[in-house]
Chain A
Amino acid sequence: MAEPGFALEKVAFAYGDKTVLDDLSLDLAPGRFYGLVGPNGCGKSTLLDLLMGNQKPAAGTVCYAGRPLADYHRRELARHLALVPQDFTIHFAFTVLEVVLMGRHPYLPRFGAASAEDLAIAEQAMAAIGIEDFKDRYVTELSGGEKQRVVVARALAQATPVLMLDEATSNLDIGHTMEIFNVARDRVRNQGDTVIAVIHNLNLATAYCDEIIFMKAGKITASGPTTETMTPDNIAQVFGVESRVRVDEFSKSLQVSFKYGG
C-alpha cells in the first residue's frame, strides 16, 4: 500500500453555480498535525468533506493512500477516516455510551452486537476525553460543550489513522479544548496518526499544528510548516488584520498577538 496520506490534484467544487473550491492541489503526508485556517465561508469545511469522500469533486481527483476516494466503499473508508463535524446535534435520547459505540459501526457485522473489545475501545475513548462519568446520561440532556465532547469521543472510538476536526472545540472552554487537542497530538506523536483540523483560534493552531494551510475564497494561499507559514503577512492576506508573531517563553510556542480596535 502507498503511504496513507492524501493527494489532491486540481480539485474544484461548486454548490450549484457557486464555486467553493477552485483548482486546488495539495499533498498531506501521514503522521502530521495539519491546521486549516481561513475566514468563514472560505471552503474549509468543504475541503474536509472532499477529503472524507462526503462530497465528490466537480473536477480533479482526491486520493487517499494512492487510491481515488471514489474507489473506496464508504464502510472501508470509515475504518480509515473519522470526522468530528461542526453540527453535533443528536436528535434522539441515546445514552452517551451508545453514541460513542456508534463509532464502532464500521467494524460491526450488520446484525452483530458490540463485542467486549468494542466496548473497551469506547470506554478508552470516553476516558481520554474525560466523559466516562456521564456515559449513562442521555445526550439530549447534555450541554452544547458536553455534546461536542461526546462526538469527539465517538470519532476516537472509530480508531482511524486519520482524524478530521471541523471546529471541534467551538463550544468548549480552554481546559476542555486543550484536553481534546492533547489527545489528538498524542495520537499523531505516538501512533503516527494524521490530524486535519479546522481551527479559528490562530494561537491554538500555532501551538498544536505541525503545518498550517491558509485558505481564502476557495484557494490555498499558503501552506507549510507552522514556523514558516504563521507570519504577519499571511495572516494579513487572509484575515485582513494586523498582527505580530513571536516566540512566547511561557507557552514555548509561537504566539500571535493582534492590534485590536484598529
Chain B
Amino acid sequence: MQATTTRHNPRIITLGALLLLALGAMIITSTGMGFIEISPAEVIKVIISRITGDPGLVAGLDPVFSFVIMDVRLPRILTAAIVGSGLSICGVLFQGILLNPLADPYTLGISSGAAFGASLALIANLTLFGIYSVPLFAFIGALATLIVVLYLSSFDGQMSANTLILSGVIVGAILAAGISFMKYLADEQVAMIIYWLMGSFASKTWTDVAVSLGAVLGGLGVAVFYGRDLNIMSLGGRASNSLGVETARVRKILLITGSLVAAVCVSVSGIIGFIGLIVPHLMRFLIGPDNRNLALVAALAGGLLLLVADTVTRAVLPTEVPIGVLTALIGGPFFCYIFRRRQQGAIHG
C-alpha cells in the first residue's frame, strides 16, 4: 500500500511502542516509589520471584519489600493504569458515536448514577457485600442511569446524538440534586461521600485489578472490532447505512459497551474526570482519527497518564490530593489550551 493510506502507520507503531515501554517503566518505577524506597531492579526481582515461585531471587531482600510491592502498591498501580485505559477507550467510543469531541465517558450521566449509588450505600451504611458494597452500589447506580437514559432517548429504534446528550444531562442533574440532598442529610458519612466523589486508588486489591482488567480488555476488543464501522459512522447515519454499516445496532452496542466499561471504572475508583476527554483528543491529534488505532493508543496513553497522576499524588506530593481533583486541575487548563488552539484552526481533532 502507498504511504497515503497508511499515513500514520510508522508513527502509530512508534508511538504505540513508546507508550508501551513508558507504561512498563512507569509501573516498575512507581512501584518503587513511596514511603519505603525500592530500586527498580529489586521491584523486578520481587515480581519475577512471585510469578515463578523462585525464592532464590529475593534472597537477601527485606521480606517487607515483597509485601509492600505485591499486596499494597501493585494492585493500586495496576488499577490506576487499567482505569486510565478504560476511561480513555470510553472517551474514544463516546466521541465517535455522539460525533461530538466534547463527549466523555460521563456524558450519559454514568458518573452521576454511580455517585448516587455510592452515596446511598455510604449514607445508609450498607455493608451487605463487605468492602465491595460501595463499588457494587455504584455499579448498579450507573447501570440504572444508563437504562433510563437509553429509554429516554430511543424513539422508533433510533437514537440521535443530541437526545442522548440531553437525556444524560437531565438525568445527571436530577441525580446531582439527590446527591446534594444526601450530603445534607448525612452526618459523619458526608466526608466519606465527598472523598468517594473525588476518586481514589487507595487500598485497591487484586480483585479490583481483575474486575477492571476484564471490563477494559472486553471494551477494547469491542472497540477495535467495530473500529472501522465507527470511522464510517462519522460520515453520518444515512451515509454509513448506505455503506453497509448497521448503524443503529453498532451504535447501541458501542454505547452499552462504553457505558459498562465506564461504570466499572467509576465503581472501582470514584469519579475521575478529564482523562476520558483529553486522551482521545491528544491521540487523535498525533495519529489521526482512525478509531481502530485510536482505541489502542489511547488505552496505553490513558493508562500511563492516570498512573503518573496517581503516583504524583501518592508518592510525590507531601499529602495525598484526591486523584479526581488532580486530573481536573491539570486536565482542565490543558483542555482550555487545546480548545483555544482548535478555535484558531491550528489543530484538527
Contacts and interface: CB of A to CB of B under 8 A. Distances in A.
A and B found bound together: yes
A133 to B, nearest CB: 13
Interface stretch (A24-32, A99-107, A187-195): A99-107
B15 to A, nearest CB: 17
A139 B284 CA distance: 15
B244 A94 contact: no
A113 B231 CA distance: 14
A52 interface: yes
B5 A83 contact: no
B191 interface: no
Interface in A148-168: 151, 154-155, 158
B319 to A, nearest CB: 41
Contacts of B228: 105, 108, 110
B348 interface: yes
A257 to B, nearest CB: 34
B4 interface: yes
Given A90-B234, A105-B232, A110-B225, A95 B239 contact: no
A94 B242 contact: no
B234 A94 contact: yes
B234 A92 contact: yes
A76 B245 CA distance: 10
Contacts of A89: 236
Interface residues of B, number: 28
A87 B238 contact: yes
A79 B235 CA distance: 18
Contact of B242 (A85, A101, A119): A85
A83 to B, nearest CB: 4
A145 to B, nearest CB: 17
B243 interface: yes
A97 B1 CA distance: 13
B348 A83 contact: no
A73 B292 CA distance: 24
Contacts of A91: 99, 234
Contacts of A247: none
A62 interface: no
A54 B289 contact: no
Given A105-B232, A113-B1, A77 B225 contact: no
A124 to B, nearest CB: 14
Interface string A120-159: 0000000000000001101011000000000100110010
Q: Is the interface of A mostly helix, strand, loop or mixed?
A: mixed
Interface in A30-54: 49, 52-54
Contact of B235 (A78, A102, A138): A102
Contacts of B288: 93-95
A235 interface: no
A18 interface: no
A205 interface: no
Given A94-B288, A151-B239, A102 B5 contact: no
A81 interface: yes
Nearest to A102: B232
Tell which of B2, B232, B241, B284 has the most Cβ of chain A within 10 Å.
Answer: B241
Nearest to A115: B1
Contact of B5 (A52, A73, A74, A101): A101
A97 B4 CA distance: 8
B137 to A, nearest CB: 36
A99 to B, nearest CB: 7
A75 B241 CA distance: 9
Given A53-B241, A103-B243, A154-B239, 9 more contacts: A91-B99, A93-B348, A93-B349, A95-B7, A102-B232, A106-B244, A114-B1, A119-B1, A119-B2
30 contacts: A49-B238, A52-B238, A52-B241, A52-B242, A74-B244, A74-B246, A83-B239, A83-B242, A85-B239, A85-B242, A89-B236, A92-B284, A92-B289, A94-B234, A94-B288, A97-B4, A98-B290, A99-B235, A102-B235, A105-B228, A105-B244, A106-B244, A108-B228, A110-B225, A110-B228, A113-B5, A119-B1, A119-B2, A135-B4, A151-B239
